[in-house]
Amino acid sequence: MPEPLENFIGEIAKSIAQRTFVKLSLGNYKGSDESLQKLLIRPVTIKKGERLYFVYRRETNDLAKNFSPEEGLERISEALRDGFRSGHLFTTTKDFQLTIVKSGIAHLRSGKPTIIERPDSAHDRQKSFQIDPERFYLKALGVTDDAGGVLKSSHDKWRQINKFVEIIASLFDKSRLSGRKSLRVVDMGSGSGYLTFAAYDYFRNVREIDVEMTGVEARASLVAKCIGIATASDFDGLIFAEGSIAEADVAGVDILIALHACDTATDDALYKGIAAKAELIIAAPCCHHELRAQMKSPEMFCNVLKHGVMMERTAETITDGLRSLLLERSGYATKLFEFVATEHTPKNNMLVATRLEKPSPPGPFQNQIDTIKSVFDIREQHLEKLLSK
């Protein structure tokens, strides 16, 4: 092993031992894995102790893992032998830059530290906050930086996270779930997991509830990434599963979440929640194609709804209105309100349903549903069709 490379690995080991290690990035990969681009490493502290969190940055998806300091150092040494030609080590005392040229000759330079204070790697949060910006998963998801500052590109996402936690906390407190010490929560279409992680963090670490939470997502790359971050965060009760909303197992669910499930996928999620008798159903509908293709303008609105944009908005209103009525017909109380302001996201409506102990008779709700369908010449609506089975 070239002396500069050996010295570089030695500096990494020393910084870990002396707790001056901030982060390490390896790049300029020339190995056999065609999709691998970078390796990013930072320290984390979980219940099991100090760990090194690895993110293998690939062309199409990232892979996240955490290792003990000893095993992590071995993995770093292997990575430098197997194809990475550059490395940048940040410590609180010095920065080190390693470069390996084509001939195999290595060069090591050092300089003044970029970061003079080691970021807090602890996962324990202060109870006075609902969501602590220094939580590790927020850094891993690209919402905050190493010091816990919200990244400029993620301010809207940060607002959305905090608003969602505020909403779910209020709904929980006003429901029959209030006071429960255990919960089962399913997030349908969890995507990158921002809100899934935040909801789990809130229930487990703020409310100190024994929560079992599952994020269901069809894209395997996002599932793998979220599993890695959950493992590194020591979130034992948070799992992610690959699959569709229609096929997800929600037996025994207390809270069902479906945010931005496209078109009739929202109906699939609502049906799952109703069938499982979930106490809370929280949905943020996205896209409204099903009814738009069927709807015809009533004669009295023909000159108003002849404009495409007006018919689009009407279709959205009628779709979510019918969903609300179908939930009420099924024994739930509903609210439909603005989730976050439209300047942050155009998909800003949230439909929430709370299961009633004494439901109202279904007849009046069905009469309203039938009237609306007749007025707009709607043949069928997906949620109603599912419930009719």
According to DSSP, the β-strands at 238-242 and 210-217 are parallel
Q: Which residue has the tokens 């899934």?
A: 196
Of the pLDDT bands very low, low, confident and very high (cuts 50, 70, 90), residue 23 is very high
Residue 353: the pLDDT is 97
Query: Model confidence over 237-257: pLDDT tens digits?
Result: 999 999 999 899 899 999 999
Of the pLDDT bands very low, low, confident and very high (cuts 50, 70, 90), residue 198 is very high
Contact 387, 374 (CB under 8 A): no
Q: Where are the domains of the chain?
A: 3-111, 136-388
179's CB contacts (< 8 A; 6+ apart) are none
Residue 134: the pLDDT is 85
Rounded CA separation 215/243 (Å): 10
Q: Who has greater pLDDT, 104 or 190? A: 190
Rounded CA separation 273/185 (Å): 11
**Coil, helix or strand at residue 135:** coil
What mean pLDDT is predicted for residues 322-340?
Answer: 92
Name which CATH class applies to 136-388.
alpha beta
Lowest-pLDDT choice from 177-191, 270-284, 346-360: 346-360
pLDDT at 3 over 60: yes
Of the pLDDT bands very low, low, confident and very high (cuts 50, 70, 90), residue 49 is confident
pLDDT at 337 over 90: no
pLDDT at 279 over 70: yes
What mean pLDDT is predicted for residues 47-76?
Answer: 86
Contact 254, 184 (CB under 8 A): yes
Rounded CA separation 389/384 (Å): 9
CA of 379: how far to CAs of 32, 246, 302, in Å?
Answer: 56, 22, 19
Query: Model confidence over 211-228: pLDDT tens digits?
Result: 999 999 999 999 999 999
172's CB contacts (< 8 A; 6+ apart) are 178, 207, 255, 280
| Mean pLDDT for all residues in the chain | 89
What mean pLDDT is predicted for residues 229-239?
Answer: 94
Query: Model confidence over 97-151: pLDDT tens digits?
Result: 999 988 889 999 999 998 887 766 554 433 334 688 888 999 999 999 887 888 9
Contact 193, 222 (CB under 8 A): yes
Q: What is the Cα gyration radius of the chain?
A: 25
pLDDT at 61 over 90: no
**Which tokens sit at 80?**
């430098």
Closest by Cα among 191, 207, 293, 105 to 199:
207
Model's pTM, two decimal places?
0.69
What mean pLDDT is predicted for residues 71-79?
Answer: 95
Residue 123: the pLDDT is 42
Residue type, 89: L
Neighbours of 243 (CB within 10 A): 13
Lowest-pLDDT choice from 40-49, 57-66, 125-134, 170-179: 125-134
16's CB contacts (< 8 A; 6+ apart) are 43, 52, 69, 72, 73
Which DSSP symbol is given to 148? Answer: S
What mean pLDDT is predicted for residues 7-35?
Answer: 93
Closest by Cα among 224, 185, 223 to 202:
185
Rounded CA separation 389/375 (Å): 24
According to DSSP, the β-strands at 49-58 and 36-46 are antiparallel
**Which tokens sit at 245?**
């909303």
Q: Residue ranges of the alpha helices (H) in the chain? A: 3-17, 69-81, 136-140, 155-174, 194-201, 220-232, 265-275, 289-292, 308-329, 363-375, 382-388
Residue 351: the pLDDT is 95
